[in-house]
Structures are given as structure tokens and as C-alpha cells.
């Protein structure tokens, strides 16, 4: 699937057990902030598919590879092989 390069696409809540549960989910807000179980901060997206989140004294970048419009694997978050995520909302 083509990689979304528009930040608008990521707005909403994504997680490994969505849509059944929002446990361990992260919410990306339109104003460039995020909220997750581990804290909050700001996020940006590069011209492709890498999201960079900064908050709680650390910065994490993850590259998202989409298998559908509402499912992706986030590399750089979670397990070494990537963390499957789905859109909750």
C-alpha cells in the first residue's frame, strides 16, 4: 500500500489491540501533540512514513508500513520486528 505522507492521516488513536481495546494505544492530535499510556508530548511526520515523538525526556522515531488503511506495522516501537497497530478511532 502507498505510504501516507499527510499528517492528517495519522490523527486519531492507534494501538496493538484496537479496535477491541485501547490498552497501550497512542492518540495523535491535530495540534501536533500525542497522548499515550507512557506519557505525552509532540509528534511530527517526515515527508514519508516516519513519525517522531518527543516527550518525557526522550525522542522515539518509528517508520510505519501500512497493510491497509487502518492497519500498519510500526518499526522502532515495541518488538524488534515491529509492532502491529490498528486504528481505534
Question: Which residue range is the domain that position 80 belongs to?
Answer: 7-87
Quote the pLDDT of residue 38: 79
* Model confidence, pTM: 0.86
Quote the pLDDT of residue 2: 46
Q: Would 83 be classed as within a structural domain?
A: yes
Q: Would 1 be classed as within a structural domain?
A: no
* pLDDT range class, residue 4, cuts 50, 70, 90: low
Mean pLDDT of the chain: 86
DSSP state of 86: E
pLDDT digits (tens, 9 = 90+) for 44-64: 998 678 899 999 899 989 998
**Residue tagged 499515550 (cell numbers):** 36
Domain count, the chain: 1
Q: Would 2 be classed as within a structural domain?
A: no
**CA 70-76-81 angle, 5° bins:** 80
Amino acid at each position: 500500500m502507498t505510504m501516507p505522507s499527510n499528517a492528517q492521516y495519522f490523527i486519531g488513536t492507534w494501538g496493538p489491540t484496537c479496535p477491541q481495546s485501547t490498552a497501550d494505544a497512542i492518540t495523535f492530535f491535530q495540534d501536533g501533540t500525542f497522548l499515550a499510556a507512557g506519557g505525552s508530548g509532540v509528534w511530527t511526520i517526515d515527508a514519508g512514513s516516519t513519525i517522531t515523538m518527543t516527550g518525557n525526556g526522550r525522542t522515539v522515531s518509528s517508520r510505519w508500513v501500512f497493510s491497509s488503511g487502518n492497519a500498519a506495522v510500526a518499526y522502532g516501537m515495541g518488538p524488534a520486528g515491529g509492532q502491529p497497530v490498528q486504528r481505534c478511532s
